[in-house]
Amino acid sequence: NPRIDRNQLGDRLFLLAAGSIPPAYAGLLQVNLVVIGLYRRLFQHSNEKPQIKQKTKMTVKYAWLDVDPGHDDATALMMACQLENIKLLGVSSVHGNTSADCTAKNAARCLHAFAAPPDVLVYPGASKPLLRPTKHDSEIHGEDGLGGVVGLHSADSPEVQARFARKDDGSFIHAIEGMATAIKDTWRAGTGHQVSVVSSGPMTNIALFVSVYPELMEAVEQFVFMGGGVGLGNRSAVAEFNIMCDPEATQIVLDAPVKAVMIPINVTHTAIVTSAIHSRLRSPHLPHLDGVLADPCTNLRSTLSSIISFFAGSYKSTFGFDQGPPLHDALTIAYVSHPELFKAQRFRVDVELHGKHTAGETVVDVWNYRQCDDSWGSTGKNCLVTQEVQVRVLTYSQLLFLTRTVFTRLPSFLNYCWIVSPDVMRYLHSTCNIDD
């Protein structure tokens, strides 16, 4: 409010921040001098008036999510259910991390746990790849796909069973039927909205949808999939698991006349759930102590923590990830919601289908060897390959103005550092990743 005295502004900001400072640092309130001094220095001697940002209209993204839960699929489901700018139309399940029966039940259990809107239902899908033998990954996800996870309702509970889409006779509505109906109803013959079809598992369901409903391709804005790698694999020397499970299906989707967006493991391996993030997930108001996770402050946080803990153990024992597990599948929903967080480049991408040692490899033509036109699909540069995601860790919200405003606008902040005790400086350094 521009009418507030600028000295009062600093005082009020301090009171707001002090009310949120963790109890462990309650005795270190010398930081009030820093906050008040900073804001008085920023505004008192400046002709610049505080700018009030106008609230911009949010653009809603319509999405269909195809999953094979899977611990990281569970995080993608949570994001799709809760992000304000995502309108989730439905969820289809597919074979992959575990059997198709388990992935369908896991998807329904997650929708209930994450309070999905009641009209968001699960549509069970393909139980095996188009041509190849079925593969599962119990080493990473456990036998049922959500190994070690606590707090989810039983698959047989009425609440979970109510999350399945059924016909009048009680039988399940199949994945591609549900997908086609939702996309057609949302598109409304061009008067409605296009839909982003998001995949966090093998792309069997989506390939069947592309093949059975070619007339609906104009209603699809993009196919966003987590899978593949650029010169990198995780379940063979060169192949990533989702693509390796059904490489033919992936090639069908890449050949469809629709924009495809690939989130490869080169990118997802940079999105690590560190112990600091994990601790904040468990209890956001307690300081992180090295090697010690805070106690979960709610049942939901306990469930989310168990998802991360099992996944972290699997990735440490199998791949040697010591800092935490990569949150692969959540990046698909992150891309749909906020594509500006990603750096990407358009390439021709094909899948190796016949190699003895390379089946399932995503072949990204970075040197433009193949002559392509400007279309999406079989003759063009058919895929936007993400190359980087902005991974920023911001812990306590009351420090946001320090990292975004003070350190960018006021280099003379260092004049005030003598006021702050060494303990507070260590706290700021550890939580904000501020260089000495």
Query: Which residues are identified as catalytic?
Result: 328
Three-class SS state of 377: coil
Task: Spell out the residues 6+ positions from residue 400 whose beta carbon is closer than 8 angstroms to its own.
Answer: 394
- 421 φψ region: left (φ > 0), alpha (ψ -120 to 50), beta (else): beta
Beta bridge pairs of residue 86: 61
Check if the beta carbon of residue 216 is closer than 8 Å to that of residue 187.
yes
Distance CA 122, CA 252 (A): 24
Is the Cα torsion angle 173, 176, 182, 188 positive or negative in sign? negative
Task: Spell out the residues 6+ positions from residue 431 whose beta carbon is closer than 8 angstroms to its own.
Answer: 287, 288, 395, 396, 399
Distance CA 114, CA 258 (A): 31
Phi/psi of residue 225, nearest 5 degrees: -135, 140
Distance in Å from the first CA to the final CA of the chain: 34
Which residue, among 306, 407, 66, has the nearest Cα to 203 in the 3D structure? 66
User: Which tokens hold the place of 152?
Assistant: 């989810």
User: What angle in degrees, to the nearest 10, is found between the helix axes of 71-82 and 100-113?
Assistant: 40
